[in-house]
Structure 1
Amino acid sequence: MKKIYNYLIAAVFFCTPFVTVDAQQSVVLDLNRTIELANDSSLEAFRTQNMYFSGYWEYRTYQANRLPSLTMNLTPAQYNRDITKRYDSQSNLDVYRTQQSYYAYGGLSVKQNFDLTGGTFYLESNLTYMRNFGDSKTTQFTSVPIRIGYSQSLLGYNAFKWERKIEPLKYERVKKEFLYNVEKVSEKATSYFFSLAMAQAEYDLAKENMASSDTLYRIGEQRYKIAAISQADLLTLKLDRVNAENSLKNKAIDLKRAMFTLASFLNLDKNTQIKLELPSHLNDLQIPVDLALQWGRSNNPQLLELKQNILEAERSVDKTKKESRFNASVNASIGFNQVAETFGDVYHKPMQQDLVSVSVSIPLIDWGVRKGKFNMAQNNLNVVKISSRQNEISIEEEVIMTVNDFNIQEQLIGSAEEALDLAVLAYDQTRQRFIIGKADINSLTLSQNRQQQAQRNYISALQEYWMNYYKIRRLTLFDFATGVSLSDRFDFNGGNIVK
């Protein structure tokens, strides 16, 4: 088998004058290098990374919302000059008067959300300046040196609590989805790799078939002169040569197209001449179905998305349920304030400022709107749970079937290797027997077709093997060849993706 394997590699490496490639550079790629280039340089890889960074910054925003926020509010200058209606107490009449004023405001506020209750603590300080012009000229400063307070909805929907449940799961799904897409790129790169390998093999077979047909036709001409074969056999050999020439031209076009497709996917120059090294298979690697299911349930981002969908549906039920009842909220604060005509006095002996506010909203008649929204949310939750279970079963079935196919494929590769050995040997012997006149043209053609089909079957078996292997990695995010979870190979801290 080693002889046949070397023959395949040599065939894939060899490039003949029948293919015209305006090659600016030449690269030699094996499957691992092809996948590395795809995940480093392809446009698919760039898109995958940006999708991850989008989710990463969304999670950073969620974390930032859990921290205290400091805000400065400023109104540096506000000038008013207008005519307004005022009450004149001396004449007991409303009169229009001209007013002219200048106003400025500055304040600082610190807020901290409290996830457990859904409320917000706040700390404030502000200073206001106002000056009136005209007949009555006055200047006033007002200050709130410090005020601390707390506000929350007593019976309403707590958005912070649900964000605390959903956002970490959502970010975990984003990380796993990034790895999932990386393996998806690996699958696509594997597909293009073997498409080029098959195109190269088909071209080499066509080239070999062309040379063989030409040789056999010349031999046939000599044998026809001595009446060793009939004219019909000679015409058949000539027809085979014409068909082989046409086939070679078509295979050359297919080869160039496959090479261009792989180069474009890897973001290489379109005229890059690519030479491939065919991979072998992983010896004696059998993947246990139970282990694959275990990693699939814990790592597959599609299953994490199903959990996220259920939580979001439960959040919607909770929100509509609490909004259908009466709502009550409280806002309480304690602090100090003062008013003075000079800046030096505005902070002198501040007065205590207290505020307690309780508001209640009671729905009396809404003609079933709130109840309808709650029932819709509840029914949607039931649908999401059923759909999630169906999708979970489908994903598990896909894992099981792919693992079974992979485990069987290793045996098929062994059979394909043996078939290729026998086909090459049989063709060589039949060809020699035809040259010495002990085999007819039909036997030679049949033997040649079997050899070519055996070579195609071997490359197809390799392709199916590696496609299944990377599909299992995508579905489970686990490398069964090394026994390492793919997430352990990446560092997501700080938004930096490091292999």
Structure 2
Amino acid sequence: MRFLNIILAFLLVTFGETTAQRLILSLDRTISMAADSSLEAFRTKNMYLAGYWQFRTYKADRLPSLTLNLTPAQYYRDITKRYDSENDIDVYRKQQSFYSGGNLEVKQNFDLLGGNFFLSSDLGYIRNFGDNAYSQFTTIPIQIGYTQSLIGYNPFRWERKIEPLKYEKVKKEFLYNREAISEQATSYFFILAMAQAEYDLAKDNVASTDTLYQTGLQRHKIASISQADLLTLKLDAVNARNAFQNADIALKRAMFSLASFLNLDKNTEIRLRLPGHPADLDVSADEALVMARENNPKFLELRQSILEAEQQVDKTKKETLFNASLRASIGFNQVANNFKDAYRDPLQQDMVSVSLSIPLVDWGVRKGKHNIAKNNLNVTEISARQQEQSVEEDVIMTVGDFNIQQNLIASAEEALDLAIMAYSETKQRFMIGKADINSLTLSLNRQQEAQRNYISALQNYWLSYFKIRKLTLHDFETGVSLSNEFDYSHYMK
């Protein structure tokens, strides 16, 4: 029987270890795990990769493109209307033909003018069936040309301004989101730290109130305390047990939230190590503003929105005028009944085309679109300035909060030490009958409040610290820009 109990105990321990993983986390490790494993980190990475490949597509579009267009087989058999010149009438005739052809083309965009150079080669074959069966090959061995909008809107010029800015914004947004993850992880960390502290305080309070109640029973027997004081001690013990149960529920919820955020098993049992007193760090609001204007992706986003609004103004302005386009090419072509002769003695082929589109009456539609675009640009510029001021105000306020929090941590730490010593002294005096219940309760409440204030001070400090890093993308401890030190190529693997 004893052997069976040992086996059961072993199985229970083993099962408990497989279902509930135990983990001790510091703030640094929590942030590191969040940056690597959280779902938010995966989302942030893929947002960056989408922007990266969009920029790669833009760069690739600036390079020559080679395209092969093929029609391997095209067969017709139908009845079509034809003109009979001998009888001067239209007649219906059967038609049966086969066609096959291909085209190889090289294209190069010319950003400065917004046109396209092209170099192409064509080969076609046609076979007609019926009474007048015959076959023909047609070739264009080489053709060189250029197409250009003479007055119209040039999208390439605007892409050269906007696309590099968009990619720079994507990179800065990636770093901004990583710092936001650090901020989120810090918030979850200290929510659990507060719940953990409340749990420990509640647990100690249960043991303390039980001890005090037992002491009160002994003192009541010798009439050292009144019946009312004894009932108060018993009430404190009952309330302490109730508070402990509530603290246990809150701890499990906070633990579950942090485990979910870190993408850990939901049954993970987490214990935290609070960070110590942080090193003194003086952050200048003026320096923080300079770094924010240089690095914050919001400023890049506002610049992008203004450029895009200016692009729309330019586009609608050009569209109010008449459109003119040019297409010119020079090359060679030939036609023959066999493939070999289709490439023999090709004839020169020249083509120049100028087309015009002149709006005569559009009832002010184009002018209206241009005026809308100009008004939207004005709105965008005003909105951008307002948002810039909002970010600047956020930076200044956050820096001010951060500098204040450094002083509050020292005060909260000192208050906690004093509260612990005061409660210990009051408890000892109560045990020997030199302090009443009110003094003991007041001292305990002060100790618990000091513990909460200390954790809150640490939380506010680190939240302000990571928010400054997020807003400025600058490490004020080392004086290094985060974007300069970050290896984006690591995320291309």
Range of TM-score over shorter length: over 0.9
Structure 1 Cα separation of the partners of residues 261 and 135 of structure 2: 73
Q: Is the aligned partner of 1:333 residue 2:315?
A: no
Superposed, which structure 2 residues align to 1:162-173 within 5 Å? Answer: 162-173=158-169
Residue 287 (structure 1) aligned with residue 283 (structure 2): yes
**Contact 2:95/2:129, CA 8 A, preserved across alignment:** yes
Match of 2:216 among 214, 220, 230: 220
Deviations 1:367-395 (CA, angstroms, capped at 9, x unpaired): 11011111111101101110010000000
From 263, 268, 271, the equivalent of 1:267 is 263
2:396 corresponds to: 400
Shift of 1:489: 3.1
| 1:132 CA drift (Å) | 1.1
Q: Pairwise mapping of residues 229-378 of structure 1 onto structure 2 (< 5 A)?
A: 229-378=225-374
The structure 1 residue matched to 2:55, chosen from 49, 52, 59, is 59
**CA-to-aligned-CA distance 1:439-481 (integer Å, 9 cap, x gap):** 1110111011001100110011000000110111111111112
Change (3 A) 1:494 1:407: closer
Which of residues 477, 485, 489 in structure 2 aligns to 1:489?
A: 485
Q: 1:440 to 1:257 in 2, by over 3 A?
A: same
Quote the residue 1:42 is aligned against: 38
Residues 79 and 494 (structure 1), Cα distance of their counterparts in 2 relative to 1, 3 Å cut: farther
The match for 2:78 is 82
Partner residue of 1:111? Answer: 107
Query: Which of the numbers 387, 396, 399 marks the counterpart of 1:391?
Result: 387
Deviation of the 1:203 alpha carbon: 0.6
Runs of 4+ in 1 over 3 A off after TM superposition: 20-23
- Give 1:495 shift: 5.3
User: Any unmatched runs of 5+ in structure 1?
Assistant: 1-19
Give the whole-Å Cα distance in 2 for the aligned partners of 1:272 and 1:54: 33
| Counterpart position of 1:437 | 433
Cα gap change, 1:144 to 1:494, in 2 (>3 Å): farther
Counterpart in the other structure of 1:470: 466
Cα 1:221/1:494, change in 2 over 3 Å: closer
* 1:89 CA drift (Å): 1.8
- Classify the secondary structure of the residue corresponding to 2:340: helix
Q: Is residue 412 from structure 1 mapped to residue 400 from structure 2 by the alignment? A: no
How large is the Cα RMSD of the aligned pairs?
A: 1.4
The corresponding residue for 1:193 is 189
Contact 1:71 1:109 in 2 (8 A): yes
Q: Distance in 2 between matches of 1:323 and 1:269?
A: 59
Contact 2:49-2:492 at 8 Å conserved across structures: no
Deviation at residue 24 of structure 1 after TM alignment? 2.6
1:168-222 Cα deviation digits (max 9, x unpaired): 1001111111111111111111111111111110011111111111111111111
**Aligned partners of 1:344 and 1:331: how far apart in 2?**
31
Q: Which amino acid aligns with 2:97?
A: S
Amino acid corresponding to residue 403 of structure 2 in structure 1? N
Q: Give CA deviations for 1:138-193 in whole Å, capped at 9, x if unaligned.
A: 21111000000000111000011111111110011111111111111111111111
The SS at the match of 1:346 is helix
Could you tell me how far apart the structure 1 residues matched to 2:477 and 2:104 are? 58
Structure 1 residues 277, 182: closer, same or farther in 2, change over 3 A?
same
SS of aligned partner of 1:128: strand
> 2:322, 2:358 within 8 Å by CA — same for their partners in 1?
yes
**Partner Cα separation in structure 2 for residue 403 and residue 150 of structure 1:** 57
Tell me the distance in 1 between the aligned counterparts of 2:72 and 2:214.
100
Q: 8 Å contact 1:329–1:358 — kept in the other structure?
A: yes
Amino acid at match of 2:276: S
Determine if the alignment matches structure 1 residue 480 to structure 2 residue 476.
yes
1:174 paired to 2:170: yes
Contact 1:281 1:410 in 2 (8 A): no
Structure 2: how far apart are the matches of 1:264 and 1:77? 58
Q: What do residues 250-286 of structure 1 show as CA deviations (whole Å, max 9, x unaligned)?
A: 1011111111111111111111111211112431211
CA positional deviation for 1:22: 8.5
SS in structure 2 opposite 1:104?
Answer: strand
Residue 264 of structure 2 aligns to which amino acid in structure 1? L
Larger mean Cα displacement after TM superposition, 345-354 or 479-488: 479-488
Distance (whole Å) between structure 1 residues aligned to residue 303 and residue 100 of structure 2: 52
For structure 2, list consecutive stretches of 5 or more residues without a partner in the other structure.
1-15
| Conserved 8 A contact 2:45-2:491 | no
SS at match of 1:270: coil
1:68 and 1:216 mapped to 2: Cα distance?
86
Code of the aligned partner of 2:68: M
1:141 equivalent in structure 2: 137
Amino acid in the other structure paired with 2:130 = G
> What code does the residue aligned with 1:186 have?
S
Residue 125 in structure 1 maps to residue 121 in structure 2: yes
Report what 1:447 is aligned to: 443
Matched residue of 1:206: which SS? helix
Q: What per-residue deviation string (whole Å, max 9, x for no partner) do you get for residues 216-260 of structure 1? A: 111111111111111111111111110001000110111111111
Shift of 1:23: 5.2
Aligned to 2:205: 209
Shift of 1:342: 1.1
**SS of aligned partner of 2:321:** coil
Counterpart CA distance in 1 for 2:419 and 2:17 is 32
Q: Which residue of 1 aligns with 2:9?
A: none
Once the two structures are superposed, what CA deviation does each residue of 1:49-96 show, in whole Å capped at 9, x if it has no partner?
111111111111111111110000111111111111112222222221
Q: 1:470 to 1:488 in 2, by over 3 A?
A: same
CA distance in 1, matches of 2:280, 2:190: 22
